[in-house]
Amino acid sequence: EVQLLESGGGLVQPGGSLRLSCGASGFTFRDYAMSWVRQTPGKGLEWVSAISSTGGTIYYADSVKGRFTISRDNSKNTLSLQMNSLRAEDAAVYHCARSSGWRSDHWGQGTLVTVSS
Amino acid sequence: DIQMTQSPSSLSASVGDRVTITCRASRGISNYLAWYQQKPGNLPKLLVYDASTLQSGVPSRFSGSGSGTDFTLTISGLQPEDVATYYCQNYYSPPFTFGPGTKVDMK
């Protein structure tokens, strides 16, 4: 069974940083691209970033480019998202997702990021 | 960047009704289009990929069609468990944007 477990969310002040992690199990992690997608309660889905299976190809949404960094460690089956210069509009539940051909077929429960002073 | 729009934003239908949701891309994305279902309080679930391929385990009353810029998700016989918000997603060209969603309720 595919399992994705996010961690690292919390309360941070505007301008602060957080590092999200996603532990994967139940599939061969190194064979799949991975993505981060965020959702504000009651709102829609916003694609944030994606990384290829080897880490050699990386994409970002314009809204986070230059502030967020996605990475993966295939030896530890872990996906990460380093978030710097956080803004109020970055507050959301962040989901990691297994991606096949850049579409996402399994999602984690998510970790809540709150940006407030 | 490719923008995704959906119509309608919400709809109410009765059990057994045929329901059609439209998704439009601001420029051609071939068939690199996915549909997701998100039930209240649940995670998104992949329903359709490559515009018309049903994900394993998805009921056959769901179908997708389209290519280029115009796409459709059809539920041929709405069931109570289909109450959800439906999102389309472009995965042809980054950023892999989602549509704003279509909320489906029971009448």
Q: Give the tokens for residue A66.
A: 């230059």
Model confidence over A22-35: pLDDT tens digits?
999 999 999 999 99
CB contact under 8 A, B43 and A103: no
Closest alpha carbon to B98 in A107, A109, A69, A80: A107
CB contact under 8 A, A62 and B1: yes
d(CA A34, nearest CA chain B) in Å: 13
**Residue A16 has what pLDDT?**
98
Which positions in chain B touch A46 (Cβ < 8 Å)? 98
CB contact under 8 A, A61 and B95: yes
Model confidence over B10-67: pLDDT tens digits?
999 999 999 999 999 999 999 999 999 999 999 999 999 999 999 999 999 999 999 9
- In B9-107, at which residue ranges do the beta strands (DSSP E only) sit? 10-13, 18-25, 33-38, 45-49, 53-54, 62-67, 70-76, 84-90, 102-106
**Residue A79 has what pLDDT?**
98
Q: What is the dihedral of CA A18, A97, B8, B95, to 10 degrees?
A: 70
- State which residue of chain B sits closest to A110, comparing Cα positions: B43
φ/ψ of residue A82, rounded to 5: -85, 120
Q: What is the DSSP letter of B97?
A: P
Which positions in chain A touch B94 (Cβ < 8 Å)? 50, 59-60, 102
Mean pLDDT of A69-78: 98
Model confidence over B64-77: pLDDT tens digits?
999 999 999 999 99
Which positions in chain B touch A92 (Cβ < 8 Å)? none
**Residue A42 has what pLDDT?**
79
Q: What is the DSSP letter of B55?
A: P
Residue A102: which of B38, B46, B96 has the nearest Cβ?
B96
A43 pLDDT band, cuts 50/70/90, is: confident
